Amino acid sequence: MSALYTANAFAADTTKAAAETINQQDEGWTFTAAPYLWASGINGQSGLFGFPPQDVDVSFSDVLQHLRFGFMGVAEARNGRFTISTDIVYARLNADIGTPRGIIASNIDATVTTFMGTALGGYSVYYQDGTNFDLVAGARLWSADNRFEFHGGAFDGTSASDGDTWVDPVIGAKFKANVGNGFYLAGWGLVGGFGAGSKSMWDVMGGAGYQFNEKSSMFVGYRAVHDNYRHDGFVNDVTQQGPMLGFTYQFSAAHHGTMED
Q: What is the CATH number of the domain that holds 121?
A: 2.40.128.90
Q: What is the pLDDT of residue 42?
A: 96
Whether residue 126 lies inside any domain: the answer is yes
Q: What is the mean pLDDT of the chain?
A: 87
Say how many domains are in the chain.
1
Farthest CA pair distance, the chain: 103
Share of the chain above pLDDT 90, in %: 73
Phi, psi angles (nearest 5°) of residue 14: -65, -45
Whether residue 230 lies inside any domain: the answer is yes
**Which residues, at least 6 apart from 42, have a Cβ–Cβ distance to it below 8 Å?**
56, 57, 58, 63, 238, 239, 240
Q: What is the pLDDT of residue 254?
A: 57
Nearest-angstrom CA–CA distance, 31 and 175:
17
Pick the closest to residue 109 from 99, 94, 89 (CA basis): 94
Q: Are 228 and 212 in contact (CB under 8 A)?
A: no
Whether residue 228 lies inside any domain: the answer is yes
Whether residue 143 lies inside any domain: the answer is yes
Whether residue 51 lies inside any domain: the answer is yes
Q: What is the pLDDT of residue 125?
A: 98
Q: State which amino acid sits at residue 103.
A: I
Whether residue 69 lies inside any domain: the answer is yes
Task: Kindly give the parts of the chain with pLDDT less than 70.
Answer: 1-27, 101-103, 254-261
Whether residue 35 lies inside any domain: the answer is yes
**Which residues, at least 6 apart from 182, have a Cβ–Cβ distance to it below 8 Å?**
210, 211, 212
Containing structural domain, residue 63: 29-252
Whether residue 22 lies inside any domain: the answer is no
